[in-house]
Amino acid sequence: IECCVFDDLINLELLHLDYNKLRFLRRNIFSKMSNLKKLNLNENKLESIKNYYFTGLKSLNLLNIASNG
């Protein structure tokens, strides 16, 4: 996923990135999405989950990372 691709989506509350074969995420990729409540990253190829992926997600209450690796 390209850098800053989500920067203008500040009011987005739900983001589905499942089934995209993602191997890694860029540092602070979601940092401007302070209203995001639900993030689905399940069924990808993420080899590790880093805390800095989720910097700025102040409203996040559901994170689905099932079936990665």
Per-residue exposure over 24-61, b if at least 16 CB sit within 10 Å of its own CB, e if not: ebeeebbbbbeebeebbbbbbebeeeeeebbeebeebe
Residue 1 has pLDDT above 90, yes or no: no
Can you give the pTM of this predicted structure?
0.90
Query: pLDDT of 22-36, one tens digit each?
Result: 999 998 899 999 999
Query: pLDDT of 6-25, one tens digit each?
Result: 999 999 999 999 999 999 99
Contacts of 44 (CB under 8 A, 6+ apart): 17, 18, 19, 20, 21, 22, 23, 67, 68
